[in-house]
Amino acid sequence: MVDEKDILRKLAEDVILCNPEGAREDAKRAIELGISAYEAIDEGLIKGMTVVGEKYESKEYFVPDLMAATAALNAAFEVLKPYLKVERAEVTGKVVIGCIKGNIQDIGKNIVAIMLTMTGFKVYDVGPDVPPVKFIDAAKELNADIIAVSVTMLETIPYLRELENGLRKAGIRDNVKLLVGGKALSEDVAKDVGADAYGKDAREAVEKAIMLLVNKKI
Amino acid sequence: MGGQPGEHPAVLIGSIFYSNHKIVKDPIRGEFSKGDAENLIKHQEEMSDKTGSPSFLDVVGSTSEALVKYVDFVAGITDLPFLVDGSNATVRINAMKHAMEIGLQNRVVYNSINWSIRHDEIDALKELRVKSAIVIAFNPKNPWPEGRIEVLRGTEERKGLLKLAKDAGIKNTLVDTAVTDLVGLGLASKAVYLVKNKFGVPAGCAPANAITTWNRGKGEFGRHGYDVCIASSCSMVQMAGANLIMYGPIEWAGLVFPPCAMIDGLIAYTARKLGTKTASKDHPLYKIF
């Protein structure tokens, strides 16, 4: 008999093995077994995606594998999404999220995007390898509260500065908070580039996003 | 372009005025060294004449102002067909509008119709009566060769890109099978074969997109080793049946034309034994050996 642990393990495997059909089916089975959508995401999908990230770092996986794993994760997420309870989603901010130009590794960004969505944010994912001006255009168009940026390549940090300057030049810096994260950054670097907050991992990024939103509204 | 293997050689397409191209002085206003640009284009033409491999240009611009200037320059200096390749739809459409106004209908190829195309872009292409376009078979939901077929064919939820190209009035569709990264070159090559087989349209890809991101290849194996990898990547997609190869910066013409012409010659000779004749005596088979 399949138990809760088996299903969570299978969900992680579906992501690792890039199997969208399996992920969709296992997400349905998780719900049928009474597993909360949050747990299925946290303990299944995100665990799987973390392994995919490790495999990418060790050059066992490549860009097509990342895309296929993300597709599997999204397939399951679509099934789980309606079961994300509203009471946990008390925040109602808009976040534009993406990886700054030169960064194609978007696993961390994808995980943060999912966790922000779970928390109740409206998330607009502009994707990997995004020039600063596209973040600014999206933030203006959507009237976003937060721009969340992932930076995994050290040499692309100057683009963060360009983004921060661009927000000022566009006259929207006071309206849009800049949240940054990714393995190329630290708290100090984040301050240095003028970011409003730094999240060292996905959970902290979400906590900081909530704080930014709360402070903005005070 | 197209036909049975051995009939026509692959068209080799070099990029000019691309991001950080050293001949460009101001990418926003489109200021560049005309002498250097002319030399690069002439060099590609010479390589094409010498080897028999036909060539196009991929003219890249980041603003409408710049791309229009590049289009004017290229149209005046060569008779080659060229791709109009802008950083976004507005830039591309503005430049295409200009190209059509000055009578380049039969020389310009819109680059590109892709997954993110919007209705206003399709309408604009139709209104301008653009004849030729590159269609990029990139499927963010399925990176495997079959995913490229799916995005071209369409699904119940989403219209296929080949149908969208038709809606836009495109008569000559050239499929780019979308190289995602270096290992993705194999997938894109397999997709070239599948696309031609299933849809009967010319197909190819841009190996340079992968090679230029291969930092280890650049650093560790020396210039010679890296150059051989550039040429080999083009040869690989050619052996999968590519009709068009976007080989990268136009400066690489000297690296790419000889091996591609040689391979087209070999393909044509082999095909001759199967009853296929070359479409003309300008084929590399009669020039390269």
pLDDT tens-digit profile, chain B (289 residues): 888 889 999 999 999 999 889 999 999 999 999 999 999 999 999 999 999 999 999 999 989 999 999 999 999 999 999 999 987 899 999 999 999 999 999 999 999 999 888 899 999 999 999 999 999 999 988 999 999 999 999 999 899 999 999 999 999 999 999 998 889 999 999 999 999 999 999 999 999 878 887 888 888 889 999 999 999 999 999 999 999 999 999 999 999 999 999 999 999 999 999 999 999 999 999 999 9
B18: helix, coil or strand? coil
Task: Give the distance from residue A214's alpha carbon to the nearest chain B alpha carbon, in angstroms.
Answer: 34
CATH code for the domain in which residue A168 is found: 3.40.50.280
Task: Give the distance from residue A70's alpha carbon to the nearest chain B alpha carbon, in angstroms.
Answer: 8
Whether A67 and A10 share a structural domain? yes
* pLDDT for A215: 78
- Pairwise CB contact (< 8 Å): B180 & A67: yes
- Pairwise CB contact (< 8 Å): A62 & B184: yes
Of residues A41 and B71, the one with the higher pLDDT is: B71
pLDDT tens-place string over residues A128-165: 889 999 999 999 999 999 999 999 888 889 999 999 99
Residue of B nearest to A19 (CA): B142
Q: Kindly report the three-state secondary structure assignment for every residue of A133-177.
A: HHHHHHHHHHCCCEEEEECCCHHHHHHHHHHHHHHHHCCCCCCCE
Domain count, chain A: 2
Backbone angles phi, psi at A176, to 5 degrees: -120, 125
* Rounded distance between C-alpha atoms, residue B201 and residue B191, angstroms: 12
Tell which of B28, B141, B209, B213 to mutate to test the A interface (max A CBs under 10 Å): B141
Whether A55 and A142 share a structural domain? no
- Pairwise CB contact (< 8 Å): A62 & B181: yes
Sign (positive/negative) of CA torsion A27, A28, A31, A37?
positive
Whether A80 and A143 share a structural domain? no
Give me the residue from A63, A64, A74 closest to B144, CB to CB.
A64
B31: helix, coil or strand? strand
CA nearest neighbour of B136 among B197, B209, B67: B209
Q: Which residue has the tokens 């930076």?
A: A151
Whether A50 and A117 share a structural domain? no
- Pairwise CB contact (< 8 Å): B183 & A62: yes
* Rounded distance between C-alpha atoms, residue B135 and residue B121, angstroms: 13
Q: Kindly report the three-state secondary structure assignment for every residue of B172-194.
A: EEEEECCCCCCCHHHHHHHHHHH
Tell which of B115, B155, B180, B212 to mutate to test the A interface (max A CBs under 10 Å): B180
CATH code for the domain in which residue A69 is found: 1.10.1240.10
**Which segments within chain A are labelled E, that is strand?**
94-100, 122-130, 146-150, 177-181, 197-199
Whether A152 and A209 share a structural domain? yes
| Cβ contacts of A74 on chain B, cutoff 8 Å | 141
**Model pTM?**
0.82
Whether A70 and A126 share a structural domain? no
Whether A95 and A187 share a structural domain? yes
Whether A122 and A208 share a structural domain? yes
Residue of B nearest to A70 (CA): B141
Q: Which residue has the tokens 């739809």?
A: B89
ipTM score: 0.84
Q: CA torsion, points A38, A41, A42, A48, in degrees to nearest 10?
A: 170
- What domains, with CATH codes, occur in chain B? 11-286 (3.20.20.20)
Task: Give the distance from residue B20's alpha carbon to the nearest chain A alpha carbon, in angstroms.
Answer: 14
Q: Which residues contact B2 (CB under 8 A, 6 or more apart)?
A: B8, B201, B202, B243
